[in-house]
């Protein structure tokens, strides 16, 4: 794979002695580093990040996910100068426990449906609560007897996990989930990496990111630009609401097609990116 395709600079001087603060030759390609410099030079900006696969490596057991130490350190450093948010498909409390982010970092869970700025969100209306219960029951029935398949319940959705299942089992049960409970009236279905999430309300990281930007701007100086980084197909919804012409920056983590203009290869590269950005903002 070419350096252009990974977002990493293959130049020989970007070797082991080039630490994460070493500047534009520290492993980020020239186009991404230039975008970071321009982004960091603005006034109030928002850095929003997916968690799993972005700050934390993907693991078989979701409860075992933790941010890489270098990413956690960079996040704390960046939060001292910049608005920072984690935007995840996880339930808000689960995200808080796994991420262990600095207090200044805003947490947005449930694919944009729950925010730490709105801890006392109203419960679901009775008809939506009934739909959510039905979704959980129907996914439970699909998971029963299929090794490696399990169901997670969130405040507004139910999630079918297939990462630990055989590939043919994962494909079959995912298709059944989408064509069965996922096709019920009023259900918002999303397919991610080894998951099918069925929401009793509209889901989407893009809407959550847009609402967060508006809320922060209403409470103080306007947010001039947003940087969002994510690895999953569900993150494309967030990339879609960015405006590169207005200074927004999208960073895809890993392979696969994406609307993001920039790309890095792994969570380790995200830690390098965040450390570089923290240094630029401290200037």
Residues known to be catalytic: 50
CA 45 remoteness from chain centre: 18
Distance, CA of 121 to CA of 282 (rounded, Å): 35
Contact 50, 235 (CB under 8 A): yes
Q: Supply 138's token pair.
A: 């129907």
- Helix (H) / strand (E) element for 85: namely strand 83-87
Distance, CA of 181 to CA of 160 (rounded, Å): 11
- Helix (H) / strand (E) element for 218: namely helix 205-218
Angle between helices 126-143 and 167-179 (to 10 degrees): 150
Distance, CA of 90 to CA of 112 (rounded, Å): 10
3-state secondary structure of 13: coil
**Strand arrangement of the beta sheet that strand 195-199 belongs to:** 150-153, 157-161, 195-199, 188-192
**CB-facing half-sphere around the CA of 212: CA atoms within 13 A:** 35
Strand partners for 47 = 84, 227
CA 258 remoteness from chain centre: 14
User: How far separated are the first and last CA of the chain, in Å rounded?
Assistant: 34
3-state secondary structure of 120: coil
């Amino acid at each position: 794979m070419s350096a252009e395709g990974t977002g990493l600079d293959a130049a020989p001087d970007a070797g082991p002695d080039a630490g994460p603060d070493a500047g534009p030759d520290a492993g980020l390609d020239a186009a991404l580093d230039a975008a970071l410099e321009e982004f960091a030079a603005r006034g109030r900006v928002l850095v929003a990040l997916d968690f799993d696969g972005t700050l934390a490596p993907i693991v078989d057991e979701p409860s075992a996910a933790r941010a890489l130490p270098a990413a956690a350190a960079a996040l704390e450093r960046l939060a001292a100068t910049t608005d920072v948010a984690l935007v995840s498909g996880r339930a808000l409390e689960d995200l808080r426990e796994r991420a262990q982010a600095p207090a200044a970092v805003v947490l947005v869970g449930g694919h944009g449906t729950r925010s730490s700025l709105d801890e006392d969100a109203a419960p679901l209306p009775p008809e939506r609560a009934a739909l959510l219960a039905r979704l959980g029951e129907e996914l439970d029935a699909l998971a029963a007897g299929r090794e490696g398949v399990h169901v997670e319940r969130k405040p507004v959705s139910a999630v079918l996990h297939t990462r630990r299942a055989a590939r043919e089992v994962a494909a079959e049960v995912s298709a059944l989930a989408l064509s069965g409970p996922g096709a019920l009236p009023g259900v918002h279905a999303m397919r991610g990496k080894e998951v099918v999430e069925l929401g009793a309300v509209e889901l989407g990281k893009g809407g959550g990111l847009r609402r967060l930007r508006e809320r922060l701007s209403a409470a103080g100086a306007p947010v001039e630009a947003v940087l969002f980084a994510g690895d999953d197909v569900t993150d494309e919804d967030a990339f879609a609401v960015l405006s590169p012409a207005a200074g927004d920056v999208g960073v895809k983590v890993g392979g696969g097609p994406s609307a993001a203009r920039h790309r890095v290869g792994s969570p380790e590269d995200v830690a390098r990116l965040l450390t570089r950005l923290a240094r630029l903002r401290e200037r």
